[in-house]
Amino acid sequence: MFSVGETSSKSVLQQKGIAWFIPMEWLFWVPFLSPLLGHSPWEVISISRQRHISKIHLEKGCHKGDTVEGVHDLKEYLKKFGYLNYDGSNNNHADDDSFDEFLESAVKTYQTNYHLKATGSLDAETVNKMSIPRCGVADIINGTTSMRSGKTKHHKHSSASLHTVSHYSFFPGSPRWPDSKTHLTYAFHSVSDSNILSPICARAFGMWSSASHFTFEEIEDFNAADITIGSHSMDHGDGNPFDGPGGTLAHAYAPTNGRFHYDADEEWATDLTAGSYDLYTVALHEIGHLLGLRHSSVEGAIMWPSIPSGVRKELHGDDVQGIRALYNL
């Protein structure tokens, strides 16, 4: 169940031993990457919690041709977010620590998406970017990236000819709620979830309502709700298990599935607290996915994949343009 600390600076989301950022969205922290550069994970991400990490002894990063303990973990990270796919023709090094040409290409694409110098080598800047907590929806689905490409949009509401470059994106096939379904209901998994999350999610839904044609209403009937929200731990039956403290923060499905889950084992806060994740910011991001938005390449947008601790964000113009474009508003 949820437990609230004595003050808002304490963890407000803790749930143990129950079944709980595709298209599915997760938030993912990556502690194993920092040893590739000879730093402790705590130096890179400033989170004082202990987790198992691969022991990789390399001080200057790594690149194609290297064989370094822990490179396989890097491959798993990039596979999870759609950058790396070892099929039948290129699987010789899928399960080892060899930095091959496929990994180099994947790292280079990642660097391009995140506005880094696209060298294909794992350097400190790339590791630092990967170490920031992020939403777990893949950046690349079925070979299509959700980032990088700006889209020039003409805005009809202006009397002048106004063109802006947008960087929002949609899921493959642009799934969305039916035109007749503009009033969406939501419910919480448990009373303890509701006690903590109800005011937070109401505010987040209100922000999306102001940017779109949707209205939202909390109801008690979990089974009848269009959107269901809860906190869960570890394997919770949806095929995308959480992994305890320091891993996945939250995930949500694209329309019209409606599921949104927080990881109950993380450090959560209702205010800006160093080392804790803001419940409201995560809700705002995941609701964007529930409505059909994928990730944006605008770092200031709520749909930017990374969500650091101790940070609160609001909707950005790119988010608003995205939801309005998806629903032709």
The residues carrying an active-site annotation are: 286
Instruction: Identify the CA nearest to 305 among candidates 321, 281, 329, 322.
Output: 281
Residue 243 assigned as binding residue: yes
263 labelled binding-site residue: yes
Collapsed DSSP state (helix, strand, coil) of residue 197: helix
Residues in the chain: 329
Check the annotation: does 303 bind a ligand.
yes
**Angle between helices 124-131 and 101-113 in degrees, nearest 10:** 70
Neighbours of 191 (CB within 10 A): 10
Is 266 labeled as ligand-binding?
A: yes
Which one-letter DSSP state was computed for residue 295?
A: -
Q: State yes or no: 167 annotated in a binding site.
A: no
228 closest CA partner among 258, 255, 199: 258
Q: Which of these, 110, 140, 139, lies nearest to 125 by C-alpha position?
A: 110
Q: Give me the amino acid identity at 55.
A: K
Q: Compute φ and ψ for 57, nearest 5 degrees.
A: -105, 90
What is d(CA 21, CA 240) in angstroms, rounded to the nearest whole number?
A: 12
Residue 240, token pair as written in the block: 């995308």
The verdict on whether residue 207 carries a ligand-binding annotation is no
Report the largest interatomic distance among the alpha carbons of the chain, rounded to a whole angstrom: 61
Find out whether 289 is annotated in a ligand binding site.
yes
DSSP string over 211-259 = HSS-EEEE-S-GGG-SEEEEEE-S--SSS----STTS--EEEBPTT--E
Contact between 288 and 302 under an 8 Å Cβ cutoff? The reply is yes
Is 238 a known ligand-binding residue?
A: yes
For residue 201, which of 181, 222, 220, 187 has the smallest C-alpha distance?
A: 187
Please enumerate in sequence order all residues whose Cβ is within 8 A of that of 152, keeping only pairs 6 or more positions apart, or say none: 163, 164, 165, 166
Determine if residue 236 is labeled as part of a ligand binding site.
Answer: yes
- Tokens read off for 43: 């130096």
- In this structure, the number of other CB atoms found within 10 A of the CB of residue 178 comes to 8
- 244 annotated as belonging to a binding site for a ligand: yes
Binding site residue list: 135, 226, 236, 238, 243-244, 251, 261, 263, 266, 285, 289, 295, 303
Binding site residue list for Zn(2+): 135, 236, 238, 251, 261, 285, 289, 295, 303
Binding site residue list for Ca(2+): 226, 243-244, 263, 266
